[in-house]
Structure 1
Amino acid sequence: MTETQSSTTSISDRPPSVAHLLLERVAETPDLEAFRYPVATEGGPDAWHSYTWAQAAQRVYAIAAGLMDLGIRPEERVAIASTTRVDWILTDLGIMCAGAATTTVYPQTNAEETVFILADSGSRVLIAEDATQLAKVREARGNLPGLDHVVVIDPSGVEPAADDPEGWVLSLAELAERGAAYLEAKPDCVTDTTAALRGDQLATLIYTSGTTGRPKGVRLSQDTWSYMALAIEAVNVVHEDDIQYLWLPLAHVFGKVLLAGHIKVGHVMAVDGRVDKIIENLPVVKPTYMCGVPRIFERVYNGVAAKARAGGAARLRIFNWSADIARAHARASQESFRRTGKASVPAGLAAKHAVADRLVYKKLRAAFGGNMRACVSGSAALTPDIGFFFAGAGIPILEGYGLTESAAASFINPSSALRTGTVGKAFPGNEVRIAEDGEILLRGPGIMQGYHGLPEQTEKVLEPDGWFHTGDIGELSDDGYLRITDRKKDLFKTSGGKYVAPTEIEGRFKVVCPYASTMVVIGAGRKYCAALIALDEAAILGWAKEEGLTGSYAEIVAHERTRRLIDGYVDTLNAGLQRWQTIKKFELLPRELDVEHGDLTPSLKLKRPVVEREFEPLIERMFVEQ
């Protein structure tokens, strides 16, 4: 192994739990704005309402006391199956303040897997968003003998069922009413329960969506989250005067960790998990800070490129020129900072950048609300060319890295010393090693306790001395910047003995081809590499309209002119690859890859085995001997 590197700063004297931090936050800034959330209006745009910290705490404490009234005790599990909304956050904090442990369930999860997670976790209460989530467990109640109650956030459309036990279903409002009464009788129940919490008690069970097999429950302790809260404050990426826009799924660890940082730092959090509302909401909320996944930034880039293309040849030339200038400016600036500690670019490039800013970048920043100071990207690798473009356009994307097993955040790019193409430097208190085979190993206070009920699986990845095997391959610079090169299990060897890192090739293609949604490189044990390519529906249909082609997405994809179009982009991709990496053949998929079909995880990671099984006939066709 390489020599161990540790962060230069440490986190000490952290409180046992985020519940402690919440009480401190409310006492310190009770009247400051904590959350913004949308409320539907009749016939008009959503109205944004707010909670102060004191108002949020009142709601949180009532939920916590309501759970205690239902008999929930420390470390017992309470599940949440809901989209991202302010009620999710208040409920999660209520669970924490009751000393219980949150089990997260993606709202897209089907009934079978939802029941598996609830049973495997031993959850006693389910906080269900609506009638749809309730229906998943109502039919399988016989397989969930330990599920004592279902609390519905939005009870509209929820009808009583004849075989429901009395009190089995109640609304979140009813739970809060029970909690208010419980608080009257026991006014110190929340503060006493919080004071008694230990750092090693279970706080959260997050089930990895996984790219293969059944999900595993990752056990994260109370002080894991309080550590993350203090670490986020220490790296100084988000500030107390920020307005953070939160749309990420809170069932995913990336979304969940942001809540801990929010409580410690004390900024405003605008919450709306509707992905189709992001473009509409940004100019209204005017956030200064937002976290996302690469797919979102790729779609924004491709959308801007498609709009430029629709504006005619001259407009497209201006965009392409501006994009090249943005990348060149960002590269020069970052390289200058690395060498001298001061960001500077040649005068000629600076002059071109100023022109491009007026023509393109200013409009892009306005689409993000006009105040965006920085974005953070995580969950999967961000293609460097996309990162350089946004950095040069004035919206730096600070790529970070972590896993569910490390509470999401293990590395982050410093906002003052961004190095695009890396995931930055280790969080305070973290240690990192690169094993002989290139695998990244982590150790620190953010690492999980283990997989719930799976000691053998835990032993495979977590060594007795605390080192966690991430399964990712990477390189570490002398000054501590980490670069992820691929997922260990995704690397493959061709029959000619050459190793191929598919993620790198796939990322390059998304930059080369503005119509690409997903590329899946195939070639393990084969003579050459081939690829399945899914196109972005909006982009390719826009191109088809310009070309006078009509038909559905599948019909356009099957058209010979579309194939010739994509063939040209594959040739461009191949020109920059080693001979054994080049894509010799490709097939266009009849639909986009998505979560609903099981091709992607809810955090938008590619499920390679699923895709390869579903499209096996297309894959075999690409490897038929000619």
Structure 2
Amino acid sequence: MSQPINRVFELLDTSIAKYNKPDVFASKIKGEWHRLTANDFLQAINQLSLGLLSIGIEKDDKIAVISESRPEWNIVDFAIQQVGAIGVPLYPNITVDDYSYIFNDASIKLVFVGDADLLKKAQEAAKEAPSVQEIYCFDKIVGNNYWKEILEKANSKDGEKLESIKQGIRTDDLLTIIYTSGTTGNPKGVMLSHRNLISNFESCRDNFPIDETCRALSFLPLNHVYERMVLYLYMSKGMSIYYAQNMATIADDLRDVQPHIFTTVPRLLEKVYDKIVAKGYELSGLKRRIFLWALDLGLKYDPNQEFGAWYSFQLKWARKLVFSKWQEALGGNIRMICSGAAALQPRLARVFWAAGIPVSEGYGMTETSPVIATNRVMPLDLRIGTVGPIIDGTTVKIAEDGEILVKGPNVMLGYYNKPELTKEVIDHDGWLHTGDIGKLEEGKYLKITDRKKEIFKTSGGKYVAPQVLENKMKESVYIEQMMVVGESQKFPAALIIPEFVSLREWCKSQGIAYTSDAEMIKNQQVLKLIFGEIARFNKEFASYEQVKKFTLLSNPWTVEGGEITPTLKPKRKAIMAKYKDVIDRMYE
């Protein structure tokens, strides 16, 4: 157990220096893995801290960081902490208008960016933000500020001043402002303290079956509070952290790094599963039958149940013949995959557990630093289809209308510059109103059923929870994205983007010539396939909840297109506005 800390930057002494790893962080540059030693990491942080003081950064100044995941991000993060400034990490893929809004709302003084493209966006945004004094880039670009120029300005004479500043920082001081993407309106700045983040990773630490001998692969954005909190947790355990190059290289990076753990969103696991299944269907003869037999076994699995000697015997052979290849594809060392940010389809949890790859689904929000509940892998304490037990130190209660309320040391200080909005979500008794609807199964395991504001009422007066329908129907290998509509209408309908990789394989198996995505969504046999999938899942819902009509769309919803948030949640109002004519036609 690591030594208790009160400020996040104390991890540098209690963990980074203690374990003295040769590869605290690693990133791949031009095909080569570059490893950062503990000593180099600590030296760079301290030098940058002194450099920030020399250029006039003071306590509570706001510093933005806009970059893909890389070790420089972590160096800047800790240097900002040590001088008492406030880090404001931003998504690399949001708009220039969003950057301008945040620069002004937080009175950003200094900006760090990753590369030339982000530099250009930040420079454009800064034209409308007079508080921004300088922008520094992690990549060396001629004619622009290079981040190491600040290190060169470090003055060793400021060492005592730096130590004095560090000593004066309190555990309840503001550590960071994280702007939530939001499905409506401008982003909100969530204020989190040192205590918020520390309480969260200390409450979750013993749920992770890892130690100082382990490696983690990181590919979720570091400005997302979950990945950031988990990285602090990894550091507290003395682990090595390797950054994936990008989402397209994850398969290669997994083989290279052979990690023991990684965090992900369900969509990535869905893509891994769909790719495996698509390849399985390409097999023929005995190999195909063995694959389908193993897959069928896996889809029935539950780590909490005993299935008897015959099932166990079959599963042993399925793991040897089929699932061992899944493990190899993930590097061969996986002890745990952490899934969050959206609902994980139960079938995926079952089949990965059957393959000997433990998946832990959790739940939280930026406002709770972020974890509220999580399934445990070792010792086993989970229920598939739930987000697990509440973490230690946090209290949850279910309001009369089903809303999940939270209280604990992980609850935010409030929204920056928005005291009235803070009062709306944190009541006078200190309960944070999450906006999510849920229940406690067996009095212990939290199950999320919907978003409070997304439940709609049909013209017949019946309430429909769209997320429940969407999550269930996305279990189909042929449905990638889906949004259920129907406010004040006679029945629910849906906009659907097919999973085109699986659809191509299906068309091939049916002897249907595949032309283009835009043409295939009009194909009568494809429409009949999707209709059959919808009808299959509709049976699990009451008549008034069932999707009666749907429209297929050929273009996936993206962050850049404005249809989803950076955490892949649908912006329902934006989608409904964009496809108003399509939706209206379904109700004509």
| TM-score under structure 1 length normalisation | 0.89
Letter in 2 for 1:384: P
Letter in 1 for 2:569: K
Compare 210-219 and 537-546 and name the one that shifted more.
537-546
- Equivalent residue number for residue 383 of structure 2: 419
- Equivalent residue number for residue 340 of structure 1: none
Alignment pair present for 1:431 and 2:421: no
Contact 1:229 1:263 in 2 (8 A): no
- Equivalent residue number for residue 175 of structure 1: 150
Secondary structure of residue in 2 paired with 1:591? coil
Instruction: Describe the superposition over 1:80-106 as per-residue Cα deviations: whole angstroms up to 9, x where unpaired.
Output: 111122221221122112221111111
TM-superposed CA distance for 1:137, in Å, is 3.3
| Distance of aligned partners of 1:75 and 1:623 in 2 relative to their CA distance in 1, 3 Å threshold | same
TM-superposed CA distance for 1:273, in Å, is 5.5
- Equivalent residue number for residue 338 of structure 1: none
Secondary structure of residue in 1 paired with 2:35? strand
| Distance of aligned partners of 1:82 and 1:24 in 2 relative to their CA distance in 1, 3 Å threshold | same
Aligned counterpart in structure 2 of residue 198 of structure 1, from 148, 163, 170: 170
Aligned counterpart in structure 1 of residue 97 of structure 2, from 112, 131, 143: 112
Instruction: Describe the superposition over 1:56-88 as per-residue Cα deviations: whole angstroms up to 9, x where unpaired.
Output: 111122222222222112221110111122221
- Equivalent residue number for residue 406 of structure 2: 442
d(CA) in 2 for partners of 1:297, 1:38: 23
Letter in 2 for 1:515: Y
Alignment pair present for 1:334 and 2:293: no
TM-superposed CA distance for 1:176, in Å, is 2.0
Unaligned runs of at least 5 residues, structure 1 = 1-10, 41-45, 161-168, 336-343
TM-superposed CA distance for 1:225, in Å, is 1.9
TM-superposed CA distance for 1:275, in Å, is 0.8
Instruction: Describe the superposition over 1:463-491 as per-residue Cα deviations: whole angstroms up to 9, x where unpaired.
Output: 23321000011111345221111111122
- Equivalent residue number for residue 277 of structure 2: 305
Alignment pair present for 1:535 and 2:498: yes
Letter in 1 for 2:311: L
- Equivalent residue number for residue 340 of structure 2: 378
d(CA) in 1 for partners of 2:77, 2:244: 16
- Equivalent residue number for residue 225 of structure 2: 253
Q: Which has the higher contact order (CA 8 A, sep 6+)?
A: 1
Unaligned runs of at least 5 residues, structure 2 = none
Instruction: Describe the superposition over 1:510-552 as per-residue Cα deviations: whole angstroms up to 9, x where unpaired.
Output: 22x2121111111222211111110223333444455352423
- Equivalent residue number for residue 351 of structure 2: 389
Alignment pair present for 1:615 and 2:579: yes
Contact 2:16 2:238 in 1 (8 A): no
- Equivalent residue number for residue 329 of structure 2: 367
Contact 2:2 2:15 in 1 (8 A): no
Q: After the TM superposition, which residues 226-625 of structure 1 pair with which residues of structure 2 at under 5 Å, given as runs?
A: 226-272=198-244, 274-312=246-284, 317-330=289-302, 333-335=303-305, 344-415=306-377, 416-511=380-475, 513-545=476-508, 547-624=511-588
Contact 2:344 2:361 in 1 (8 A): yes
Alignment pair present for 1:136 and 2:121: yes
d(CA) in 1 for partners of 2:253, 2:365: 29
| Distance of aligned partners of 1:327 and 1:590 in 2 relative to their CA distance in 1, 3 Å threshold | closer
Letter in 2 for 1:243: R
d(CA) in 2 for partners of 1:484, 1:313: 42
Secondary structure of residue in 2 paired with 1:334? coil
| Distance of aligned partners of 1:611 and 1:359 in 2 relative to their CA distance in 1, 3 Å threshold | farther
Query: Percent same amino acid among aligned pairs?
Result: 34
TM-superposed CA distance for 1:459, in Å, is 0.5
Instruction: Describe the superposition over 1:560-605 as per-residue Cα deviations: whole angstroms up to 9, x where unpaired.
Output: 2321222222222223332222221111012111222111111111
Secondary structure of residue in 2 paired with 1:143? coil
Secondary structure of residue in 2 paired with 1:124? strand
Alignment pair present for 1:211 and 2:215: no
Contact 2:393 2:408 in 1 (8 A): yes
d(CA) in 2 for partners of 1:606, 1:319: 34
TM-superposed CA distance for 1:358, in Å, is 2.5
d(CA) in 2 for partners of 1:314, 1:576: 34
Secondary structure of residue in 2 paired with 1:112? helix
- Equivalent residue number for residue 16 of structure 2: 26
Compare 540-549 and 284-293 and name the one that shifted more.
540-549
Compare 186-195 and 529-538 and name the one that shifted more.
186-195
